[in-house]
Homo-oligomer: A and B are copies of this chain.
């Protein structure tokens, strides 16, 4: 049921889209609404669930999936801190037909292999004893785990391990620690920054077979599961029981909950249910030396000593391997509305609540205010699943639309709300005709701008105009150069734009404490040490 409300008319608007910083001439914005700030949205709308801003191009798009390795053409730039030229030569049999092969990271980037041991035949035999049948050395199978889903980086690992239990992970790491073998923990391999694939020949430690739900508490909504459970499957599991996962991502069909936690994934429910630092109740983690750290509590409150699990949330597998997760699931909303509004920006607003009548009343009042004020010029509201999904597809397909525009330079920034769109306007002026398009979309409610710049082909001079300019601009606003994607391999060099030297030093000390040999996900998160 979609209600056209174009003719409504009312006074007293607070949506805040007219504050200037969301005015955008060439592009339009989509928002998802949620627990938004009260001046951004009228107070009566604080029950809305999500708030996300998106700038969409009109280009026709294909629906994105992450079910295979060749799904998406590369969006990233060759050269530069984040750059890589994705399409170099055609693949051998290990690459899906028609997909170009990705250049090895070690050939593309100025990175030197650290003095880890190389995997020997004895090592393989030892792994086979730990994991009978769980040791993969077939190059065709390995290919999918050596290349990231964006097809921008590529390792040359010769072995993939698939443990089923934490104890197996512990035995593997104990062995690797002793042998000085580097390990690349891998979940669904859906990361955006090259954090989930090897840089050189690191052993790939996959959580794929660790996909068991351990427990679900039907009163509290606490889910305890192994790290390799796929987010979408967990969503289905808890929704059948009247709950929802506190996080939702475009990659949900492939990503693993352990990887989500290791990345500190943000996503579409962030504003409604908060960060994983609040919703994750407990973790089981295997440390670099094989120690199993059991902090897999399901308690809401526990002030017995330091909250160790927090260390591993967002550490990208560099401090330990997350093997199980305890997470608080909120009750499933009974009523959902999506409003798609038009103004200088496209705005996508989703509400979720417990009583459809109340929610419709609040949304209707809000929309009347927004329309009558002139801030919003047109729009539609959907409550049925088909239309809901159709509206959401407009947002979810932006990335593909961008990839059709040519070469794409991508940035994921957090900025103070009032400066969120300034960088887009600024860059348009700065880049002039060098760029085909400068596009800003993202999550208004949490200050997350997805900045995309397109050009016909990769241009070193355009890149030089973008970097470090974009990072310096962000740093001046005390923003974050990685809002929700993490640093991984591709962004580890820009950490210092958002963190002071004292913080970087402490991070390095923590890494040295927890992984003294540096075997866990090397070349990731922290800058290379001089």
Asked if B307 and A319 make an inter-chain contact with CB atoms under 8 angstroms apart, the answer reads no
How many A residues have CB within 8 A of the partner chain?
A: 97
Smallest CB separation, A43 vs chain B (Å): 6
Q: Could you tell me which residues of chain A, from 244 to 288, have a CB within 8 Å of some CB in chain B?
A: 263-264, 266, 270-271, 274-275, 277-279, 287
What is the count of identical protomers in the complex?
2
Asked if B446 and A308 make an inter-chain contact with CB atoms under 8 angstroms apart, the answer reads no
User: What CA separation (Å) do A344 and B344 show in the bound complex?
Assistant: 59
Asked if B266 and A304 make an inter-chain contact with CB atoms under 8 angstroms apart, the answer reads no
Q: Mark A391-409, 1 if CB is under 8 A from B, else 0.
A: 0000000000000000000
Contacting residues, chain B, for A499 (C-beta < 8 A): 295, 304-305
* A506 touches B (CB below 8 Å): yes
Asked if A495 and B305 make an inter-chain contact with CB atoms under 8 angstroms apart, the answer reads yes
Smallest CB separation, A270 vs chain B (Å): 7
Contacting residues, chain B, for A26 (C-beta < 8 A): none
Name the residue on B nearest A483 (C-beta): B301
Q: Could you tell me which residues of chain A, from 194 to 243, have a CB within 8 Å of some CB in chain B?
A: 217-221, 242-243
Query: Of B37, B295, B414, B506, which is within 8 A of A302 by CB?
Result: B414
* A315 touches B (CB below 8 Å): yes
Query: Of B271, B418, B507, B514, which is within 8 A of A305 by CB?
Result: B507
Name the residue on B nearest A414 (C-beta): B299
Identify which of A220, A301, A414, A506 gathers the most chain B CB atoms within 10 Å of its CB: A301
| Interface positions of A (Cβ within 8 A of B) | 16, 35, 37-40, 43-47, 217-221, 242-243, 263-264, 266, 270-271, 274-275, 277-279, 287, 291-295, 297-308, 310-311, 313-315, 319, 330-331, 334, 353-355, 358, 361-362, 414, 416-418, 443, 445-448, 478-487, 494-495, 497-500, 502-504, 506-507, 509-510, 513-514, 525-526
Known pairs A292-B502, A299-B483 / 12 extra A-B pairs, C-beta < 8 Å: A37-B220, A43-B354, A264-B307, A274-B274, A278-B279, A304-B495, A305-B504, A305-B507, A306-B319, A307-B314, A358-B361, A510-B513
- Cβ contacts A to B, 10 pairs, < 8 Å: A43-B242, A44-B334, A271-B300, A292-B502, A299-B478, A301-B448, A302-B483, A305-B507, A355-B358, A509-B513
